[in-house]
Structure 1
Amino acid sequence: MPSFLEAPVAGAYHVLTSLVTAIQPLTGSFAAVIAIVLCTLVVRLCLVPLSVRAHRGTRARAELMPQVKKLSDRHRGDPERLQREIARLQAESGTTLFAGFLPTLAQLPFFWLMYTLFSRAVVAGESNQLISGSLLGAPLGLHWPVFTGTPAFVVLAVLLAVVAWFSARLQLRQLDETATPLTRGLARLMPYGTLLTVAFVPLAAGLYLLTTTTWTVVERTILQR
C-alpha cells in the first residue's frame, strides 16, 4: 500500500481500538464485534446526505430513460442529432443521466477504509486488535473454512442471503417498463454477490458487509416511501 494511504488507516485504527478498550468492560469478548458494527453505523450515518442525493439522482434518471429511449428510436441513424436532443432534454428537466453517481463514488473511500481495517493482520505497525476478538467461537480474522460448518460463517451467510433477497426486491421495484430482461435478471442476482464476497474476506469484513448492506436496505426502503 502506498505510504500516503497508511496515515488515514492508522488514524482510523487508533480511534477504533480506543473504542474497543472503552466498551470492553461492558461488552467483554464481544467488544471488537460491537465496535465493528458501531463504526459501520457511524460511517453510514455520516453518509446519509450523500445517499439521499444519490437516491434523487436515481429517480431523476428513471424519469428520463423512457424519453431517452424514444429519442434513440427516433434518431437512431443520426448520432449527432440524438446527442443534441438528449442534451436539450437534460437541460429542460434540470438533471442529467449521471445525476447521483458522484455521491455514490464519494462513499468508496469510506468503504475502502473500513474494509482495510477489518482485513489486515498488521495495522500501524502492530497486530490488528480489531480482528483479535471472536464471534460464536470463530476469530474475527479467520477466513471462511469452506469444508467445515463453522457456526459464525453459516449464520453470517444466512443473514446476508436474507438481506440480499430484500435488496433484490427493492431494486426490481425501482425498474420501469422499459427495463430489459437482462436488467431485471441482474437486479435480481447482483445483491447475492455479497455471499460470494464473504467467502474470500475475514469474518470481521463479512460482519462489516452484513451491517452496511442491512443499512442500505433499510435506508432505501425509507427513501422509496
Structure 2
Amino acid sequence: MFDVPVSIAAALVGGLADVLQPVAGGLATALAIMLFTAAVRVVLVPLAVSAAKGERTRARLLPKVQALQKRHAKNPQRLQREMAALYEKEGATPLSGCLPMFAQVPFFMVMYRLFVSATVAGHQNLLLAHTLLAAPLGQNWIGVLGGGLLSPASLVFLGLFVLLGAVAVWTSRRVTAEGSMGLVARIMPFGTVAVAAFVPLAAGLYLLTSGAWTAAERAVLRRRIVAAA
C-alpha cells in the first residue's frame, strides 16, 4: 500500500539531503526530513484555512448552541438533532478543525515506513545509515536505551522530547474550546511526546516540525480569520 509513496519520499528526502550536504554536513538528512514535512504542510494549508473558518463559524454560533443546550438539557437526543440541524444550516461541522491532523496521517505513516524498511524499491535503504548527531534516524528511543539513559544517542531523543513538550504546552494553552472537546484538544498535543518514544527518530522529527508549523499556522489564521469574526 505504501510502497510507491515510500519510494517517492526516499527520493525526495535523499535528494534534499544530497543538496544540503555541502552546507549542513551531518545534519543534512535531518534537515531534509524537516523540509519534506514543511512541504507537506504547505500542501495542506487550504485545509487549515477551512478549519479556521469553521472555528470562526462555531464561535459565532456559540450563543445559539448554548441556548439549545439549556433548552434541551433533559433531552440529549433532541439536543443532538437540533445542533446537527444548526451546523448543517450554517455549513459548519464541529470536526472541521481536525481535518489538517487527519490529512497528515498518511504522510506520517510514509515517513515511518521509510525509516523502518530495510529496502526501498528493491534496493538497500541507505537512509537508515544516516544519523542526527549521535542518534540513528531509523532507531527509536527504546532501542538506544541499552547504551544508558544519558548516552549521546539517548540525549538526542531527550532533547527532541523537550522540544515536543514545549510545542505541546504552547499549543495547549491556546485552545479556546470548552467542555469535553476543549479538554481533549488540550491533552492531544502531549501525545506526540509519547509517540516519539516508540517511532524512529525521523518520524519524531516529522512530529516536531509539523507541531511547530501547526502552532505558528494557528496563530496567524486565528489573527487573520477567527479574530476578524
TM value normalised by structure 2: 0.80
One of 7, 11, 20 as aligned partner of 1:10: 7
Structure 2: state its 5+ residue gaps: 224-229
Counting matched residue pairs gives: 216
Structure 1 residues 74, 16: closer, same or farther in 2, change over 3 A? same
One of 28, 32, 55 as aligned partner of 2:52: 55
Report sequence identity in percent: 45
One of 133, 137, 140 as aligned partner of 2:137: 140
Letter of the aligned partner of 2:16 in structure 1? Answer: L
Cα shift at 1:159: 0.9
Letter of the aligned partner of 1:17 in structure 2? Answer: G
Contact 1:9–1:117 (CA<8 Å) still a contact in 2?
yes
Show the 5 A alignment for 1:100-115: 100-102=97-99, 104-115=101-112
Instruction: Name the residue aligned to 2:227.
Output: none
One of 171, 174, 177 as aligned partner of 1:170: 174
Contact 2:58–2:94 (CA<8 Å) still a contact in 1?
yes
**Whole-angstrom CA distance in 2 between matches of 1:78 and 1:189:** 29
Instruction: Name the residue aligned to 2:90.
Output: 93
Structure 1 residues 117, 86: closer, same or farther in 2, change over 3 A? same
Structure 1: state its 5+ residue gaps: none
Instruction: Name the residue aligned to 2:162.
Output: 158
* Worse-superposed segment, 198-207 or 142-151: 142-151
2:208 counterpart of 1:210: yes
Structure 1 residues 160, 219: closer, same or farther in 2, change over 3 A? same
**Whole-angstrom CA distance in 1 between matches of 2:92 and 2:220:** 23
Structure 1 residues 131, 51: closer, same or farther in 2, change over 3 A? farther
Cα shift at 1:57: 1.4
Contact 1:143–1:200 (CA<8 Å) still a contact in 2?
yes
TM value normalised by structure 1: 0.81
One of 68, 73, 96 as aligned partner of 1:71: 68
Cα shift at 1:122: 3.0
**Whole-angstrom CA distance in 2 between matches of 1:206 and 1:38:** 14
RMSD of aligned residue pairs (Cα, Å): 2.6
